[in-house]
A and B are shown apart, each in its own frame.
Chain A
């Protein structure tokens, strides 16, 4: 079974430029998460999707960040314009709503490391 796939793995951009990250969750997983991981910190939730609906985006800085999950499968996280402080790893995770309600397990991708110069 394929895991959570993220791209690109690494991205270097100049400040004020736009950037987008893509995530393909595990097949059949209804719930998709975007987490932000700053250097030396634990992951922090940015947004959670149930199918195509964003059910928790309270931590997403909406002035420059946006996300979408069309058709309830793949998801894209966008930053426009990027700032120096956005340099971090952006992690995507997915879970099966019914199955993982018992296991509590999130399945993470390898992350997209963003460097803003």
Chain B
């Protein structure tokens, strides 16, 4: 079964600084990767996804992630963060494309704390 590891439970960063949130997944022949964001007291929202093609994926709010097959990683990056980026970020993986990626497995999340 697929699994996802988010090694950093919390990442503090100053406003306008760059940030990287790390995600590693267990290897599989084919894999589909996602980053979701959860703002306080809200549901999860899709940031970006990798299905195939270019390994550099761009998402909403200036975030991007790079799929690295050899390192089984899908790290999330942003060159300059804002206070409003403070949230919980979840990496997720699916190894099936049967009927819409139902078998999503989520990591434990990384809390991004942006301070002035």
Contact = CB atoms under 8 A, between A and B. Distances in A.
B108 A40 contact: yes
Interface residues of B, number: 26
B109 A42 contact: yes
B102 A31 contact: yes
A3 B42 CA distance: 12
B109 A106 contact: no
B54 interface: no
Contact of B90 (A42, A48, A110): A42
Contacts, number: 68
Contacts of A56: 102
B14 interface: no
A48 B100 CA distance: 12
Interface residues of A, number: 30
Nearest to A113: B41
Contacts of B51: 102, 104
Contacts of B99: 31, 50, 97, 101
A110 B45 CA distance: 10
Contacts of A95: 100, 102
Nearest to B43: A108
